[in-house]
């Protein structure tokens, strides 16, 4: 199986091609892809009603600061990879109909770029009638249409399960993999046309589907968990869950010494501006999905429980006011 991919708390207080958008409605749920949306922070959360994207995991979500809304792209259901673009304005979802759009995919990387004032999308797994093919394309969203910047590049190249985060005035891309053959532990930034390496060796063990967030207080990137190379397994194997966490600052990596974080993958991570901490939430703690939230104090991980059902590979993002949007994911069990 390939990669599968708020906080409350904060707590502490295949694929075929495209298909027409499906508007999901509330109904009894068997384990699998989810379509519920949650918006809030701390002790106050509300589950959203009304039209919304259909059930899916591995979708990408970013907060578009220039246009003051959330943008969701892609994702995977039991049988379909999506090429849909949805926006959320804090009250309701809206299906967008851009003139151009990236091919359908799951497990891509997406974040808002403050210098470009655009949302940047990178890579992911594109359906091809078999296991899918890793992408290395770069796209930008301007609030009304998608633009393909490049079909591939000589930098990060092909990868799925990478993470892209807003990092002060730029974006940083970390990790990803090509099947269970090549795993990456590198970091890159985007200047509008070219991807440039920003870290130095030694770097963390290569991994995909890690939890990644930017700490603006000390300008560092935190990476936790994910899936790494599983020796002796075939290229279609899921990979092995990793128990470590790392910090990237000024181009140099350091391993976090606290060891109480479980080996999570397909988890999310956000910066909680109210508690000034990176929080890792949801994910798969093999063989079960979880609704835990782990806040990093700088020396220790503190666990709490989210008032949202457990899931992995959910789409999460935070707006300028610190409110968190959670959409979908999957609550199936297994490794």
pLDDT in tens, the chain (335 residues): 333 333 333 333 333 333 333 333 344 678 999 999 999 987 789 999 999 999 999 999 999 999 999 999 999 998 999 999 999 999 999 999 999 999 999 999 999 999 999 999 999 999 998 889 999 999 999 999 999 999 999 999 999 999 999 999 999 999 999 999 999 999 999 999 999 999 998 899 999 999 999 999 999 999 999 999 999 999 989 999 999 999 999 999 999 998 889 999 999 999 999 899 999 999 999 999 999 999 998 999 999 999 999 999 999 999 999 999 999 999 999 98
39: in domain? no
Q: Cα(53)–Cα(56) distance, rounded to whole angstroms?
A: 8
Tally of CB atoms within 10 A around 282: 31
**The pLDDT of residue 295:** 97
Question: Among 280, 287, 274, 239, which Cα is nearest to 260's?
Answer: 280
Unique residue bearing structure tokens 């891509």: 108
Query: In this structure, what DSSP letter does residue 103 have?
Result: P
195: in domain? yes
**The pLDDT of residue 16:** 35
Structural domain including 70 reads 48-330
Residue 298 φ/ψ, nearest 5 degrees? 110, -15
Q: Do 294 and 261 contact (CB within 8 A), yes or no?
A: yes
Q: First and final CA of the chain: distance in angstroms?
A: 9
Q: Cα(24)–Cα(150) distance, rounded to whole angstroms?
A: 33
Q: Cα(163)–Cα(177) distance, rounded to whole angstroms?
A: 11
326: in domain? yes
Report the phi/psi class of residue 250: left, alpha or beta, with left for phi > 0 and alpha for psi in -120 to 50: left
Q: Do 71 and 64 contact (CB within 8 A), yes or no?
A: yes
220: in domain? yes
41: in domain? no
29: in domain? no
Secondary-structure percent of the chain, ordered helix, strand, coil, rounded to 5:
0, 45, 55
**The pLDDT of residue 21:** 36
CATH classification of the domain holding 253: 2.120.10.80
18: in domain? no
Total number of domains constituting the chain: 1
The CA-atom distances, in angstroms, between 136 and each of 10, 119, 125, 132 are 34, 16, 10, 13
């Amino acid at each position: 199986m390939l990669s599968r991919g708020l906080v409350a708390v904060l707590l502490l207080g295949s694929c075929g091609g495209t298909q027409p958008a499906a508007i999901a409605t509330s109904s009894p749920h068997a384990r699998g892809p989810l379509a519920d949306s949650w918006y809030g922070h701390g002790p106050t959360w509300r589950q959203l009603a009304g039209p919304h994207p259909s059930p899916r995991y591995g979708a990408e979500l970013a907060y578009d600061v220039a246009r003051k809304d959330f943008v969701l792209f892609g994702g995977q259901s039991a049988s379909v990879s999506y090429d849909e673009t949805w926006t959320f304005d804090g009250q309701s979802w809206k299906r967008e109909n851009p003139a151009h759009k990236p091919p359908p995919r799951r497990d891509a990387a997406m974040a808002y770029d403050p210098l470009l004032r655009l949302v940047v999308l990178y890579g992911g797994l594109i359906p091809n009638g078999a296991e899918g093919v890793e992408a290395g394309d770069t796209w930008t969203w301007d609030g009304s249409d998608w633009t393909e910047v490049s079909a591939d590049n000589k930098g990060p190249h092909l990868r799925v399960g990478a993470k892209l985060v807003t990092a002060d005035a730029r974006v940083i891309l970390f990790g990803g993999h090509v099947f269970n053959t090549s795993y990456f532990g590198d970091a890159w930034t985007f200047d509008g046309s070219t991807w440039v390496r920003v870290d130095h060796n030694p770097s963390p063990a290569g991994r995909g589907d890690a939890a990644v967030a930017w700490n603006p207080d000390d300008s560092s990137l935190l990476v936790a968990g994910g899936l790494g190379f599983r020796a002796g397994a075939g290229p279609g194997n899921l990979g092995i869950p990793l128990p470590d966490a790392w910090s990237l600052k000024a181009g140099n990596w350091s391993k976090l010494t606290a060891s109480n974080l479980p080996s999570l993958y397909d988890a999310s991570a956000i910066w909680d501006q109210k508690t000034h901490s990176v929080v890792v939430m949801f994910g798969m703690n093999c063989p079960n999905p979880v609704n835990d939230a782990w806040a990093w104090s700088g020396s220790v991980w503190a666990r709490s429980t989210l008032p949202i059902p457990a899931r992995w590979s959910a789409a999460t993002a935070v707006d300028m006011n610190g409110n968190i949007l959670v959409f979908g994911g999957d609550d199936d069990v297994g490794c």
